[in-house]
Amino acid sequence: MSNSQIASIQTVESLVIPERLDGRDGTNRGDARNSQLAARNDLDAVRAWLANYADTKTTFDSYRKEAERLLLWAVVQSGKPLSSLTHEDLLRYRPFLVDPQPADRWVSAGGGKYPRGDARWRPFNGPLSPASQRQAHTILNGMFTWLVDAGYLRGNPLALLRQRAKRASPRVTRYLSIALWDEVKAFVGELPRDTALQQAYHARCRWLTTLFYLQGMRLSEVAAGRMGDFSRRLGADGREQWWLDIIGKGEKERIVPASPELVAELARYRQANGLPPLPGRADATPLVIPFRGKSRCMSRSAMHDAIKSVFGNAAAWLRARGPEFTDRADELDRASAHWLRHTSGSHQADGGVDLRTVRDNLGHVSLNTTSLYLHEEEDKRHRETVGRHRMNWEQQPAAEPAPTKNRA
């Protein structure tokens, strides 16, 4: 398989492998009489495994990517089918992930992200980080285990591979201190609003930072969310409460308190986009409205770029204030959407919000209790979150004017 053929691959669904390498005679194949799969080759077996995750797009895409990489490496680099890979082969695959070579075959031009049909596309954008290497190992180990359980393979060649234990971090480090968070808010608050484009950019930056921070949401949750996911109901004390329904990791549903401050920012953002102040349950408007095509949700990568733009522009703004701000600016350049999630959780915990409340707001653990207990617990969680976790936009001190030219 040549470099040009690799560049033209359209994912596992349409990948074509020569018969001698498709795995029908793989040395690690199980007894066909005991197999629970109709698959007769490696591609079909991998597709059967992936079908279990078809209803969870983020997971499916991640699993497909790792399976595709290993399939291509086995066929192109090792000249053998997936079902003939041995423990020794997988030992060689580990350093390959650290530095995919030859780079012109495996790594996209300039390390950029290109669509599949682009000649510059490759399976990798560059070497994988230690965390991504561990994730690849975990995903592929799960795939091999499933294929063994299904009777397609006799054994799991990854099972003998020693996995270096991840050293537990004593605390979350990828978050913004309160002082640095205040700088981000000051930057957003001082963005120019002289033109329609500047007004739209300011409105989105303010809403993005507010939504991620107050709700502690994951990137994928914000990207897939709709404004109709906001709802209101009466609490036990008869007062109105706003909540945001979120579909989280593993398709788990959770509801997160929406404070009056967040609802006011929602109304402000909607009105800036020509919408009524508050959404109804049937409102399909995306949580974050694209500058073009307002009815469709932004992709995860576009949402990531939007947050990175805020942090990058804020970093440039800080550097322009003097060399004493260089360290803070460098920290902002490293920040991402997930930093905002960690920042939200850290500031809630440090601000005195009960840790069980923080846990439920971030969706780390689901509560399995009676409906009465849930009702009492949710009322307490709503009071604590709304009372202690705030943006305080209007209380920021005056800051230097933001630059008039925004970085793309």
Structural domain boundaries of the chain?
3-149, 178-395
**For the segment 314-362, what is each residue's pLDDT rounded down to a tens digit?**
999 999 999 999 999 999 999 998 889 888 888 887 777 777 787 888 8
pLDDT of 7 reads 39
H-run or E-run covering 70: helix 57-72
What DSSP letter does each residue of 180-202 carry, written as one string? HHHHHHHHHHT---SSHHHHHHH
CATH level 3 topology of 178-395: hpI Integrase; Chain A (1.10.443)
Q: Which residues of the chain have pLDDT under 70?
A: 1-15, 162-173, 294, 364-379, 395-408
Give the whole-angstrom CA distance, residue 126 versus residue 270.
39
pLDDT of 82 reads 94
Global model pTM greater than 0.75: no
H-run or E-run covering 258: strand 253-258
pLDDT of 129 reads 87
Sequence-distant (≥ 6) Cβ neighbours of residue 117 within 8 angstroms: 8, 10
pLDDT of 348 reads 82
